[in-house]
Structure 1
Amino acid sequence: MVNAKIIVLIAVALVLSVSSCKKEETDIIDQQVNESYQPNAPSNLPAFIDDVDNPLTKEGVKLGRMLFYDKRLSGNNQLSCASCHRQDLAFTDGLALNNIGLSGATLHRSAPALINMAWAKNGLFWDGGSTNLESQAFGPLTSPDEMFQNLFELEAELKAIPMYVKQFNLAFKDGIKSANVAKALAQFQRTLISGNSVYDKYKRKENGAQLTTVELQGMQLVEQKCKSCHSGELFTDNSYHNNGIDSHFNDDLEGTYQGRFRVTFNPFDLGKFKTPSLRNIMLTAPYMHDGRFANIDEVLTHYSSGVKASSTVDQLLYQNNGQLGIPLSSLEREAIKAFLNRLTDQEFITNKNISNPHL
């Protein structure tokens, strides 16, 4: 009888031991599955520095990509993030001001391009009203004029989908939470890295990439006349400038035209908007925060002869003789456009690793 009890105890101990080993193995496997993710940033771009509070993981990026293209993120299950941020247009929508949100109202601002967001650490939206990608996500998700999603209902809807339950548990310790929706979206967006245009390959001396004489002239002109704001290899200083598209800044439309002032309440920020990157610029028309310029020719005309004076207009737009604007001859305009075309990254807009995974 004693021997029988001993045998039973040994058997129980073995079962517990095996169960414990399996649990440890499962934990190890889960840790290995959700390993850190290092995006492939081209060498001529600034070094990639991961977000301390929301570091990239393979499962987090995968989840973010799934969510970015999923229409279930909207209140009526008809809109996804990709509805306004199309990959073929460098993650813009090709519209000045769209009205596809749930209310049907026309938005007051144009959808910005999602390019090299990992380096956008000085505020998001055209006026910098959001501090990071995580907080930014809740704007369009909950806005009545955009996706108009109830976050509690979104959590419940995602919890009813086994695929998402599994993926959230792999990506985050606390599973399906609206905060983790935002974190996953942010992780994916930080992998939207564009740095493989003809210009980039020329700079890196890759694959015999060359720029024509006219394109080289355009590159020099951009360096001389545009790089004060469109600086570095990101072609943006990620800062805010009043580029003279308006001379008065009333508070109509919830202060849309007041720019950065709407956030800081600093009078010196009236009319200042965030500098967009020149990368893929030929894909992201129409231009400016409200899409008022239909094409790049209208943009160049503005800078050469249409800059409007105001107390906060950027001093960089004044010539030595005190006149506003950046004079451009017809040949210089053509050279600049030729160069800007070489900033189009075909690999970025066709990369299947960042395309819709639901297709």
Structure 2
Amino acid sequence: MIGIDWWLKPVLALLCVVSSFAQISCAKEETYAEDIGYNIDQPYVFKVPKYFPEPIEMPSNPMTQAGVELGRHLFYEPLLSGNKKVSCATCHHPDKAFSDGLVLSNTGISGRPLERHSPAIFNLVWTDSGFFWDGGSTNLESQAFAPLTHPDEMGIHFPEMTVRLASIPQYVDMFQWAFKESPTAVGVAKALAQFQRSVVSADAPYDRYRRGENPLALGHSALRGLRLVQQKCGSCHSGELFTDNRYHNNGLDSSFTDDSHEEVYFGRYRISRNPADMGAFKTPSLRNVMVSAPYMHDGRLTSIVEVFEHYRSGVQPGTYTDRRLYQANGRPGIALTDEEVRDMIAFLHSLTDNIFLNNPQYANPYKTQ
């Protein structure tokens, strides 16, 4: 959609060339951009540890400081919802690693509970296998359209959304700086994607230990837990991201039905139609796991202790249950002693990144202005 100020573009461009007053005005716009914390012409540069993978680039939506900052504003903007009360941050809280602490959120525009648990949001710039619990969206740009339009989430109609944004001078400026265009639905999706890719967690006590900055950042119990996590959980929660970003049936259920008529309980099978993917859901990262309860795609496990109990004795055997969850004797589940569980939980605490959880670059800009 063309914004309501389209006819002003050639006029303003001409005035900026021939009028000294307009030159001063344009300079003020640049100063304003700098005042709110970024250079509108600069690409966004990631600062991540050397032992992390290289961030995955999106050539069709290159990240810039202006795009990321626009995305941050839009992430916290309730005008993106039909009732002007719900934003992306309604279900994704920074202090909970951008999860919401609810089993199934009912904070959307309809007040009805959703059918899946709100996932944490961080380190998504390394995701190359789809988004949502079942990978139903191929990239963050297309992913944004689902919660924006869903009648139980934000329930916005795009023409109305763009008119709202185009009526706010600051957003008109920010869209021009980021994309050289007036507010559009595509621009909203691209900006939200850029902001979410910028959200990185890489400064937990484990990272300070890993980088050699503080050899004592992990105690003896946590060090034992690190080895156990690598040994017992590393086939899925792998690498420095502590996820393989793939899909697994972890034995939560032994049978699958379609009560919702949207196949939300079928997991990855809903997308791939591969029978091996029945009941398979994306592996979440173990980073910040201690602040992002409840757990699993439907939030059914309320504590980390319940998670360990599931893997020790609750794994349901079945045709689709991941074979990695079977012991050598054919018994389902992971063999763990109570002491091993305590050590692993101690290590999981070392993956809580308080710098990330309190990073002002990811915070609500409307509370800091």
Distance apart, 1:48 and its partner CA? 1.9
Task: Give the Cα separation in 2 of the matches to 1:75 and 1:17.
Answer: 37
Distance apart, 1:18 and its partner CA? 6.4
* Residue number among 231, 236, 240 corresponding to 1:224 in the alignment: 231
Code of the aligned partner of 2:179: F
Task: Give the Cα separation in 2 of the matches to 1:16 and 1:177.
Answer: 25
* Residue number among 194, 202, 206 corresponding to 1:195 in the alignment: 202
Deviation track 1:66-107 (CA, whole Å, cap 9, x = no partner) reads: 000111111101011011000000000000101111222111
Task: Give the Cα separation in 1 of the matches to 2:218 and 2:16.
Answer: 66
Find the residue that maps to 2:198 and give its secondary structure: coil
Larger radius of gyration: 1
Percent of aligned pairs sharing the same letter: 52
Distance apart, 1:173 and its partner CA? 2.2
Distance apart, 1:35 and its partner CA? 1.7
Deviation track 1:203-234 (CA, whole Å, cap 9, x = no partner) reads: 10014543111111100100000010000000
Residue matched to 2:62: 55
Residue matched to 2:18: 19
Task: Describe the shift of the 1:238–1:18 C-alpha distance in structure 2 as closer, same or farther (beyond 3 A).
Answer: closer
1:343 aligns with 2:351: yes
Distance apart, 1:175 and its partner CA? 2.4
Task: Give the Cα separation in 1 of the matches to 2:251 and 2:323.
Answer: 10
* Residue number among 271, 277, 280 corresponding to 1:269 in the alignment: 277
Residue matched to 2:8: none
Residue matched to 2:316: 308
1:134 aligns with 2:144: no
Root-mean-square deviation over aligned CA pairs = 2.1
Residue matched to 1:94: 101
Task: Give the Cα separation in 2 of the matches to 1:113 and 1:44.
Answer: 22
Deviation track 1:256-280 (CA, whole Å, cap 9, x = no partner) reads: 2110011111111100000000000
Find the residue that maps to 2:294 and give its secondary structure: coil
* Residue number among 240, 257, 260 corresponding to 2:268 in the alignment: 260
1:157 aligns with 2:156: no
* Residue number among 71, 79, 100 corresponding to 1:72 in the alignment: 79
Q: What stretches of structure 1 of length at least 5 have no aligned partner?
A: 1-14
1:318 aligns with 2:326: yes
Code of the aligned partner of 1:213: H
Q: What stretches of structure 2 of length at least 5 have no aligned partner?
A: 1-13, 34-38
Residue matched to 1:10: none
Asked whether the 8 Å contact 1:44–1:200 carries over to 2, the reply is no
Task: Give the Cα separation in 2 of the matches to 1:114 and 1:17.
Answer: 41
Residue matched to 2:3: none
Residue matched to 1:4: none
Find the residue that maps to 1:358 and give its secondary structure: helix
Residue matched to 2:7: none
Asked whether the 8 Å contact 1:115–1:192 carries over to 2, the reply is yes
Find the residue that maps to 1:76 and give its secondary structure: coil
Asked whether the 8 Å contact 2:250–2:280 carries over to 1, the reply is yes
Residue matched to 1:8: none
Asked whether the 8 Å contact 2:40–2:64 carries over to 1, the reply is no
Structure 1 runs of 4+ aligned residues shifted over 3 Å read 15-23
Task: Give the Cα separation in 2 of the matches to 1:305 and 1:311.
Answer: 18
Asked whether the 8 Å contact 2:208–2:214 carries over to 1, the reply is yes
Distance apart, 1:137 and its partner CA? 0.4
Task: Give the Cα separation in 1 of the matches to 2:237 and 2:286.
Answer: 7
Of residues 202-211 and 127-136 in structure 1, the stretch that sits farther from structure 2 once superposed is 202-211
Task: Give the Cα separation in 2 of the matches to 1:264 and 1:20.
Answer: 59
Distance apart, 1:318 and its partner CA? 1.0
1:166 aligns with 2:165: no
Aligned length: 342
Task: Give the Cα separation in 2 of the matches to 1:126 and 1:34.
Answer: 35
